[in-house]
Chains A and B, each alone.
Chain A
Amino acid sequence: MNNAQTAPKVTKETKNKIRVDFERTPFWDRVKAKLVNLYTLKKVVWYLFRFLLLLGISYVILFPFFSKISSSFMGREDFVDVTVRLIPKHPTLDTYRAIIKDNNYLTALLNTFILSLTCGLIQTFICCFIAYGFARFKFKGNKLLFLCVIFTMVVPHTTLQLSLFMKFRYFDILNIMKFLGGGVIDAINITGGETSINMINTHWPLYILSFTGLAYKNGLFIFMLRQFFRNLPAELEESACLDGAGVMKTFVSIILPLSVTMMVTVFMFSFCWQWTDKFYTSLFFTTAGEPLLPKIIKIPKSLDTQYAGQSLYTAAINNTSGILIIAPLIVLYLFGQKYIVQGIESSGLTAQ
């Protein structure tokens, strides 16, 4: 600061009062000194760089959605027209109409909704339950069983494809059905004379897998929730216990209300992953089974694709079914994304 060199001027006004005049640096000089330096420059450049980078990656993420949505409104002619890229020249709703009508979209939507909602809810609560058991109670085998959870996460279900199918095609726990013999089973008459239950084409395989915490990525949910429960203060449960609450009561009325954000996160994951799932639905539902969303991805009867723009047109039709599939999820995400971000932030996945 160069103004420090000039000494302040002191004048005596009255007997007991003096007046000190500083030579103050002008306002703009002060602003300049504060802002025009390497430090601020670095900050601004870094800020801009970050912002542009985020913007660019957001574009990369969102562009496929734009292209899909725009192509879904294109008419047949637009796919042979070279000048059409993103904005359709012959906007039409035919593709949507054909898929909704010919491919049983609404029935599939309803079926998938019931399936995903039930699976999502079961998985959320069961995973909370299991994770709480792992996080808060000391017992022999806790660590070993948690390793088993990790193990279920590591073995891909694709590896178990054949045996998963066989398990639920000829469902029988510990050969109980075989042991009871034909008599009891014929009496209740659910299996049609076989010594096992055929669960293919029903929702039961997925419900059973959800109920036992073995469904898709449930190991991850249990892991996340366990870390979250471990970070909750133990005093909560201690005081609940002093007030006379049992374990279940503590869990239901103290722990669960505290973990709503985490539960919403887990629910969103399980619901959406079940919704867009292809592996299990193709494994447990044969072509003769009830219509589910994966089955709507095909060319509708009423659309004629035999022409020059065939490959693009069929791709656009498939993409349109894709949009129809995820449309409800987008709405859900708009409401739930706040919870996902919050939930993960409060999960404290860091605690070892």
Chain B
Amino acid sequence: MNLNIDAGKGGKKQKIQVDAPGKKRKRGASLDVKQARAGWLFILPFVLGFVLIYLPIIFKSIQYSFNEIDILVGGGYKLTFVGWKNYSDALFVDTTYVTTLVSGLKQLVLDIPSIVLFSLFVAIILNQKIAGRAAFRAIFFIPVILTTGLIADIDKANTLSSYMESSSGIDDGSGQTSTATEIVSVLDVERLFDNMMVGTEVVEYVVQMVNNIFNIVNRCGVQMLIFLSALQSISPAIYESCSIDGASGWETFWKITLPMVSPQILVNTIYTIIDAFTSSDNQVMTYISQVYEQADGNVLSSAMSWMYFLIVILFIAAVSGILSAFVFYQKRD
């Protein structure tokens, strides 16, 4: 990947150096320097933004979390340093924060496996030949584009669709089909799992997953795309040789597909965590926004979100540490 490319600035520099008497020996910049210059030129917008806008914002946010803020009447604001007060307030004075945090993290832990597994499963199915595959793909990616931000907000407070879905199976003359919530009661997942003698937690988890299917489908669009592209990059020759050796579909999945997509499982797990915890509709974020909107709670919200951020970073580090032990990287040369 060595490119002998003249950077935009390289040309000018060359002339200057030729004119300078002592430096005739070196003609222009070396390849590495040129490359580096071109690279910097390309990422310049990001570097500028990061240094001039992002870092000050981060710094300010951390600073606010250690201060009291007073917006002055004539414009501008005044900060008073209060040390760890905001943090201890969030932890010990505010009664709801800790409980919200704990239940939010619990929800996060429960959501991740279901989202990652579901998106892997759907990606595998969408990758196989089936009638109307293009149409199905188009439908499955609708939530990524449409059910975001505002629409998700409207949906969250939606009494209407729950009303429509709650219509019982009794024929009420309007020609209704039964809905997702009823499927669960019809199949009676609970009884099924009770008969399998697994713990009640597992039963609850599965029931919750089935009932939340709309939520899960909505949140796994990008993950599905990543898995799809991963599946498509697996060489068909591997599958062919497997089937010649007599491996069943089940074995092929465990020995070929899963190891080959394991890097993406890691990527997707981390993405899911980030997505879940940065999305404004998760309960901790909702609570922090509420606190932010209270006139005197502005700085408290900064402290709360930094604490939350630290916990999630530790969580991500732990998860990626554990998962990366199982990731299989194909050697390419």
Q: Which residues of A contact B (CB under 8 A)?
A: 47, 50-51, 53-54, 56-64, 67-68, 71, 82-87, 126, 129-130, 132-134, 136-140, 142, 145, 148-149, 152-164, 166-167, 170, 173-174, 194, 208-209, 211-214, 220, 222, 234, 237-238, 241, 246-248, 250-251, 268-269, 272-273, 276-279, 293-294, 297, 311-312, 315-316, 318-319, 321-322, 325-326, 329-330, 333, 337, 340-341, 344-352
B298 touches A329 (CB 8 A): no
Tell me the minimal C-beta distance from B125 to chain A in angstroms: 5
* A138 CA to B144 CA, complexed, in Å: 34
* A321 CA to B6 CA, complexed, in Å: 53
B61 touches A162 (CB 8 A): yes
Known contacts A156-B305, A278-B150; is-contact A145 B47 (Cβ 8 Å): yes
Residue of B nearest to A237 (CB): B3
List 12 contacting pairs A-B, 8 Å CB cutoff, sorted by A: A50-B125, A54-B126, A68-B160, A137-B3, A139-B36, A157-B278, A159-B305, A161-B289, A208-B53, A276-B150, A277-B148, A297-B150
- Which chain A residues lie closer than 8 Å to B175 at the CB level? 86-87
B39 touches A139 (CB 8 A): yes
Q: Of B20-28, B103-111, B197-205, B227-235, which binds chain A?
A: B227-235
Tell me the minimal C-beta distance from B252 to chain A in angstroms: 13
Which residue of A134, A209, A238, A277 contacts B149 across the interface (Cβ within 8 Å)? A277
- Which chain B residues lie closer than 8 Å to A315 at the CB level? 157-160
* A86 CA to B164 CA, complexed, in Å: 7
* A346 CA to B298 CA, complexed, in Å: 45
- Which chain B residues lie closer than 8 Å to A155 at the CB level? 58, 309
- Which chain B residues lie closer than 8 Å to A166 at the CB level? 60, 77
Q: Which residues of B contact A (CB under 8 A)?
A: 1, 3-8, 32, 35-43, 45-50, 52-54, 56-58, 60-61, 64, 69, 75-77, 122, 125-126, 128, 130-131, 134, 136-146, 148-151, 153-155, 157-161, 163-165, 167, 172-176, 179-180, 183, 213-214, 217-218, 222, 225-226, 228-230, 232-233, 263-264, 267, 271, 274, 277-278, 280, 285, 288-289, 292, 298-299, 301-302, 305-306, 308-309, 313, 316, 329
User: Known contacts A61-B217, A167-B53; can you find 12 more A-B pairs with CB under 8 A?
Assistant: A57-B122, A60-B214, A61-B218, A67-B161, A136-B39, A164-B57, A173-B52, A220-B222, A241-B4, A276-B150, A318-B157, A322-B151
A213 touches B49 (CB 8 A): yes
* A68 CA to B162 CA, complexed, in Å: 11
Tell me the minimal C-beta distance from A272 to chain B in angstroms: 5
* A237 CA to B38 CA, complexed, in Å: 13
Q: Tell me what chain A mostly uses at the interface: helix, strand, loop, or mixed.
A: helix
- Which chain A residues lie closer than 8 Å to B61 at the CB level? 159-160, 162-163
